Amino acid sequence: MPVQIIVGAQWGDEGKGKIVDHLSEKVDIVARYQGGANAGHTVVLPAKKGKKEKEFVLHLIPSGIFHPHVKCVIGNGVVLDPVALMTEIQQLKDAGIKISGRLLLSHNAHLIMPYHKMLDAARERGAEKIGTTGRGIGPAYNDKYMRTGIRVVDLLNRDVLCKKLKRNIEASNELLSKLYQTQELDVDAIINEYQEFDRKFDEYITDTSEYLNAALKKNKRILAEGAQGALLDVDHGTYPFVTSSNPTSGGACTGLGIPPTSIDSIVGIVKAYSTRVGNGPFPTELKDEIGDRLRRIGGEYGATTGRPRRCGWLDAESLRYSIRVNGIQRIAITKLDVLDEFKEIKVCTGFKVGGKKLHHYPTDSQTLDVVEPVFKTFQGWLTKTSDIRNYKKLPKEARQYIEAVSKMLDTSIWMVSVGARRDQTLMVR
Ligand code: GDP
Ligand code: IMO
Ligand code: MG
């Protein structure tokens, strides 16, 4: 098993953090390949010696960090907010997690600066608001592709860093004042703050592509951790209501500097129902008391921003599309337990427009906004599943639901998650 990619198959928050933490026991390296601190990956550690279980929300550091034998890589495809990373490192250190010698930071990753967050916020005040996380993601990737970005490696050369920062802050100030009539940023204050990050990050910075390729030669097991989800992918998602990177599996190669030939397996994480944060089409959204129940029972509030997540039934039509663009071979279904109390559970099997069946997945938001989902109804199991540890012991109706979904998606179900903790995971054989 050289590289296994873990991708979110929906609109993010599928439970990638939980599954990556669970799988990390058997890998050597976990590597994040895209996105930034817009991600919120939750890991719940089991209770220890009279202490209660502990929940961590990771934004940048890979979800393998709680396994001491695992090395964690932040790849070149990530946009890195140095302040957010420092805060996260400190929180983990305070909780007794060793970071030194375990965290590797790509020298090619682009940096998120205060002006990226200001530009993100300013755009979100306009009419074309898409409900971003406000973490500066779009503007930072914009600079990357405009070839004006500042990278981690620039932190190591103060002259270069100061020159580039001055140029970018001045350009951002012009935009901020002309386009958005907001206050301007203080060039010297930012330069003073950010040039100190060379000392703070020096020990972590390395050529992570070289590191990963050397690890591949030694047959080390690598898990590539995606953030967000396929339907938020800038190329394949519900554009323009997407993030600015490629969460889809292809992003793992470019975002880590590893060859496609090293990829052994692609696992899609699928929540047993659907959620979405922010604006954009959501064909199976439930704007009624059923949606509210899913939100309440599933605790569907953003791990990064705390916003209530929009909730709806599982959407097999969107999932088939996601499976296709990712090449997903196996699925981990999460949050099955959230459906325990529902008498009836629905799954969208396809879309219609104006009463006619759609044969191609619409990738323009205008069409996706008006599709009529066709539902198949399943009988609920009305039994608590969170204490079950054997797939065969799940209620018959729960297995029927899972097996029907597997059939609709023409993809095997590899594991089922019935709770946020590591041990609440069932392997399907
Ligand atoms: P990620 O962004 O894909 O890592 O997912 P998030 O951490 O943003 O959101 C998933 C939420 O569901 C977190 O609060 C997890 O602790 C929780 N969770 C994960 N798996 C399960 C599960 O099987 N059952 C329940 N009830 N909660 C889960
Ligand atoms: P994880 O990794 C869910 C959404 C935002 C917004 C859109 C663009 O925890 O699954 P951005 O800040 O990226 O420019 O916002 O993408 N979004 C997420 N939704 N989970 C995430 O990450 C998300 N990261 C971004 O809500 O709609
Ligand atoms: Mg999340």
User: Of ligand 2's atoms, which has the minimum distance to the CA of residue 40?
Assistant: 9
Relative orientation angle of helices 158-180 and 187-194, to the nearest 10 degrees: 140
Listed as own residue / partner, the contacts of 283-288 with beta carbons closer than 8 Å and 24 or more positions apart are 283/312, 283/315, 283/317, 283/318, 283/348, 283/351, 283/368, 283/371, 283/373, 284/312, 284/313, 284/314, 284/315, 284/346, 284/348, 284/373, 285/310, 285/311, 285/312, 286/311, 286/312, 286/313
Atom 18 of ligand 1, nearest CA residue: 420
| 348 phi/psi in degrees, rounded to 5 | -80, 125
Cα of 407 vs centre of ligand 3, distance in Å, is 27
User: Of ligand 1's atoms, which has the minimum distance to the CA of residue 298?
Assistant: 26
User: Given 1.50.10.100, 1.10.300.10, 3.40.1080.10, 3.80.10.10, which CATH number is that of 110-204?
Assistant: 1.10.300.10
What is the spatial distance between Cα 169 and Cα 163, in angstroms, rounded to a whole number? 10
List all residues 6 or more positions away from 394 whose beta carbon is below 8 Å from its beta carbon. Answer: 336, 381, 385, 388, 402, 416, 426
The two tokens of residue 335 are: 């949050």
Q: What is the pLDDT of residues 26-73, one digit of tens each?
A: 999 999 999 999 999 999 998 888 888 999 999 999 999 999 999 999
Residues forming CATH 1.10.300.10 domain(s) in the chain: 110-204
For residue 2, the SS3 value is coil
Is 272 a residue whose pLDDT tops 80?
yes
For residue 266, the SS3 value is strand
For residue 353, the SS3 value is strand
Q: What is the pLDDT of residues 122-170, one digit of tens each?
A: 999 988 899 999 999 999 999 999 999 999 999 999 999 999 999 999 9
For residue 285, the SS3 value is strand
Is 1 a residue whose pLDDT tops 80?
no
Share of the chain above pLDDT 70, in %: 100
Q: Is the CB of 334 under 6 A from ligand 1?
A: yes
What is the spatial distance between Cα 381 and Cα 393, in angstroms, rounded to a whole number? 12
Instruction: Say which DSSP state 307 is in.
Output: P
Instruction: Say which DSSP state 308 is in.
Output: B
Best mutation site among 334, 384, 385, 394 for ligand 1, i.e. most ligand atoms within 8 A of its Cβ?
A: 334
User: Of ligand 1's atoms, which has the minimum distance to the CA of residue 14?
Assistant: 3
What residues form DSSP beta bridges with 224? 5, 31
Best mutation site among 33, 112, 120, 228 for ligand 2, i.e. most ligand atoms within 8 A of its Cβ?
A: 228
Atom 3 of ligand 2, nearest CA residue: 12
Is 8 a residue whose pLDDT tops 70?
yes
Cα of 120 vs centre of ligand 2, distance in Å, is 13
> What CATH architecture applies to the domain 3-105+207-427?
Alpha-Beta Complex (3.90)
The two tokens of residue 194 are: 């950010």
For residue 313, the SS3 value is coil
143 alpha-carbon distance from chain centroid: 21
Residue 177 banded pLDDT, cuts 50, 70, 90: confident
Q: What's the confidence (pLDDT) of residue 305?
A: 85
Q: Is the CB of 368 under 6 A from ligand 1?
A: no
What is the spatial distance between Cα 339 and Cα 317, in angstroms, rounded to a whole number? 20
User: How are beta strands 54-58 and 79-80 bridged, if at all?
Assistant: unpaired
Helices and strands in the chain, H and E counts: 13, 20
What is the average pLDDT value for the chain, to the nearest integer? Answer: 96
Is 117 a residue whose pLDDT tops 80?
yes
Q: What's the confidence (pLDDT) of residue 332?
A: 98
Looking at residue 413, its amino acid is I
Q: What is the pLDDT of residues 354-398, one digit of tens each?
A: 999 999 999 899 999 999 999 999 999 999 999 999 999 999 999
Residues forming CATH 3.90.170.10 domain(s) in the chain: 3-105+207-427
* Contact assessment for residue 142 and residue 168, using Cβ atoms and an 8 Å cutoff: no
Q: Which helix (H) or strand (E) holds 84?
A: helix 82-94
- B/e letters for 231-269, b = 16+ CB within 10 Å, e = fewer, are bbbbebbbeebbbbbbbbbbbbbbbbbbeeebbebbbbb
Relative orientation angle of helices 137-146 and 114-124, to the nearest 10 degrees: 110
- What residues are annotated to the active site? 13, 41
What is the spatial distance between Cα 137 and Cα 165, in angstroms, rounded to a whole number? 17
User: How are beta strands 425-427 and 412-417 bridged, if at all?
Assistant: antiparallel
Q: What's the confidence (pLDDT) of residue 49?
A: 82
Cα of 215 vs centre of ligand 1, distance in Å, is 30
Residue 184 banded pLDDT, cuts 50, 70, 90: confident
| CA distance from start to end of the chain | 19
Residue 250 banded pLDDT, cuts 50, 70, 90: very high
Atom 25 of ligand 1, nearest CA residue: 419
**CB-neighbour burial class of residue 202 (10 A; exposed 0-12, middle 13-18, buried 19+):** exposed
In the chain, the largest separation of any two C-alpha atoms, in whole Å, equals: 66
9: number of Cβ within 10 Å: 29
